Amino acid sequence: MRRVIFNQKGGVGKSSITVNLAAISAAEGKRTLVVDLDPQCNATQYLLGEAAEFSRDKPELSPNIGQFFAQTLSFSLKEKPIAEYVHATPHENLFVIPSNPELGEIEHLLESKHKIFKLGAALKSLSSTYDAIYIDTPPAFNFYTLSALIAAQRCLIPFDCDAFSRRALYTLLENVQEARADHNDELEVEGIIVNQFQARASLPVKLVEELRAEGLPIMKASLSSSVIMKESHEKALPLIHLSPRHKLTEEFVALFKEIDAA
């Protein structure tokens, strides 16, 4: 199954959700791949830690997803299969195609050369190699996000409980439906993930109830806010490995079981 975690807003937990669901998938014995399309490289650094850090004196991890896309722009180069861009992580069954901070520099070239279907074709070729593929996206609706929507079979939408996020949610759903109608009739919204949920606060509870009443596909499992997530990021250790019995870890496991049973 190929899943994209999609939201045009930054800071809603896309990378955290992507990595932690993928880590649980791998821990369950499924051969799992994370594809990082965000130039910020958060999912890559979360999975690989210091090995993925880059600076002026230390180049980005190679090969990476930026190099995969860049090769499609040259007719003089023989394209390497996407399998050659995969890196192992420290965790059994869990792999990643790392991102590249220079993705933005080639985006307009990829758009002008109509390379929007390249990722989808490449990831389909990996269907027999991986049981699950999770795609992390940038906080924008751009070439890479649309490429991910075309490549995916299911879409998960992280949602913060506030009025601004609610208004943006309808636009997100319209974007997914448009991608489905125009490019990928296999794509379905698997669910909306309520993130950083405060079960004892009346406004978030009321908002979620209203969205459910509208018939929106709100996932039964929600994710609460916890400082352990920051610790998980700092240690480059997904929650299932850092603290398997923590409340937030158990919420992620419940979320994984919900989507895995669908």
- Which band of pLDDT confidence, cut at 50, 70 and 90, is reported for residue 253? very high
Report whether 87 contacts 48 (CB < 8 A). Answer: yes
What per-residue confidence (pLDDT) applies to 42? 95
Residue 59 has pLDDT above 80, yes or no: no
What per-residue confidence (pLDDT) applies to 15? 97
Any idea of the CA torsion for 192, 249, 232, 161, to the nearest 10 degrees?
Answer: 30
Please count the other Cβ atoms lying within 10 Å of the Cβ belonging to residue 15: 26
Residue 54 has pLDDT above 80, yes or no: no
**Is 39 strand, coil or helix?**
coil
CA 20 to chain centre: 10
Looking only at the bridges linking them, the beta strands covering 2-5 and 94-97 are unpaired
- Which band of pLDDT confidence, cut at 50, 70 and 90, is reported for residue 218? very high
Report whether 2 contacts 154 (CB < 8 A). Answer: yes
Residue 233 has pLDDT above 80, yes or no: yes
Residue 77 has pLDDT above 80, yes or no: no
Q: What is the pLDDT of residues 151-168, one digit of tens each?
A: 999 999 999 877 678 888
Nearest partner of 131 among 4, 262, 1, 24, judged by Cα = 1
How far apart CA 174 and CA 187 sit, in angstroms, is 13
Residue 190 has pLDDT above 90, yes or no: yes
Give the domain ranges of the chain.
Answer: 2-260
Report whether 179 contacts 206 (CB < 8 A). Answer: no
Average of per-residue pLDDT across 9-28: 94
**88: DSSP letter:** E
Residue 175 has pLDDT above 80, yes or no: yes
Q: Which CATH class is domain 2-260?
A: alpha beta
How far apart CA 134 and CA 50 sit, in angstroms, is 22
Nearest partner of 152 among 198, 183, 173, 129, judged by Cα = 183
